């Protein structure tokens, strides 16, 4: 699905760029305006990520890999939402003409809507991504729990875990994976962001499992944020891998790809930090509870609860 979405986006982006290069507003081509430039740049970024996901999963399958269900689920979610975003922004660039049949974009947008539903709705896929990502952490915590019952016999594990948690308390991250030596030096800062994000993810997941235990499967407000963080981490990883390959092969687009991936990783790392922070903030968790109560009351009332301001 990611490959199909990437192909659709490539064509939509081509139409959008052609429109930006020919349409004039206020005496200038619209490609000179920051609002349009941001749309085009973000369309290019999500397309690059989607294409990179498709390439990575295909490579895993070609190499005989069997365990790629998680990556496939992530690419399904990301690709279907990226294609919708890209086409919606393309229609915005075209203005009123974007909604006319002549451009073909209105049909693309309508047809794309189903991809967020079938083959497993994106809501269900997010739960799968989050809970699958928590399995390893759960196994680690069970191992640590057993070790604590016999601390003398498992002294190394207990001491290492204690040091790691102690450093976290004073703001020092210990044991985060390092990816700097796997990418081109031009992308090292972005790789460091991935390393930090992975460390944050592991720390947050352990804290959530310790707090909710088996009940975490029912905390869908929280699981959605965990899934979004995991999706962004995977997106950063495959993009860095692809850009490093382009630099290594001295492709003409290597400079463009480096700039694109660096920009994407900076924003993605911010989203990871924000989403993981929401799962541990007492105020935000209270908001989740409030939204649950609001929704329940709407269901009880059969629709909108508040009265119309004009009394209708």
Closest CA to 3 of 61, 63, 90: 61
Contact 82, 5 (CB under 8 A): yes
Is position 119 annotated as part of the catalytic site? yes
Classify 69 in phi/psi space as left (phi over 0), alpha (psi -120 to 50) or beta.
alpha
As given in the structure block, the two tokens for residue 78 are: 């990301």
CB atoms within 10 A of CB 174: 12
* Number of other CB atoms surrounding residue 200 within 10 Å: 20
Alpha-carbon span 47 to 235, nearest angstrom? 11
Alpha carbon distances (Å) from 252 to 20, 63, 243, 247, 248:
24, 28, 12, 9, 11
Identify whether the C-beta of residue 228 lies closer than 8 Å to the C-beta of residue 189. no
Catalytic residue among 106, 119, 206, 267: 119
Q: Of 94, 72, 76, which is closest to residue 84 (Cα–Cα)?
A: 76
List active site positions. Answer: 119
């Amino acid at each position: 699905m990611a490959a199909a979405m990437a192909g659709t986006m490539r064509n939509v982006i081509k139409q959008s760029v052609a429109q930006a290069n020919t349409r004039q507003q206020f005496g200038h081509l619209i490609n000179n305006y920051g609002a349009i430039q941001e749309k085009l740049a973000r369309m290019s970024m999500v397309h690059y990520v989607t294409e990179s996901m498709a390439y990575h999963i295909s490579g895993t399958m070609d190499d005989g890999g069997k365990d790629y269900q998680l990556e496939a689920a992530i690419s399904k979610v990301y690709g279907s939402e990226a294609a919708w975003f890209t086409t919606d922004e393309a229609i915005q660039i075209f203005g009123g003409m974007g909604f006319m049949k002549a451009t073909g974009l209105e049909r693309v947008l309508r047809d794309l809507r189903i991809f967020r539903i079938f083959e497993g709705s994106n809501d269900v896929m997010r739960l799968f991504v989050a809970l699958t990502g928590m399995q390893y952490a759960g196994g680690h915590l069970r191992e640590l729990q057993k070790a604590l019952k016999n601390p003398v016999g498992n002294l190394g594990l207990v001491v290492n875990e204690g040091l790691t948690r102690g450093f976290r308390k004073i703001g020092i991250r210990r044991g985060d994976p390092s990816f700097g030596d796997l990418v081109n030096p031009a992308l090292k800062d972005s790789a460091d962001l991935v390393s930090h994000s992975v460390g944050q993810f592991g720390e947050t997941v352990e804290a959530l499992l310790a707090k909710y235990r088996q009940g975490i499967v029912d905390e869908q407000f929280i699981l959605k944020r965990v899934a979004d963080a995991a999706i962004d981490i995977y997106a950063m990883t495959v993009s860095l891998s692809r850009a490093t390959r382009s630099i290594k092969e001295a492709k003409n687009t290597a400079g463009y790809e480096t700039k694109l991936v660096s920009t994407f990783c900076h924003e993605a790392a911010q989203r990871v930090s924000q989403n993981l922070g929401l799962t541990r903030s007492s105020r935000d968790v209270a908001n989740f509870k409030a939204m649950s109560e609001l929704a329940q009351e709407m269901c009880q009332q059969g629709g909108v609860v508040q009265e119309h301001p004009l009394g209708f």
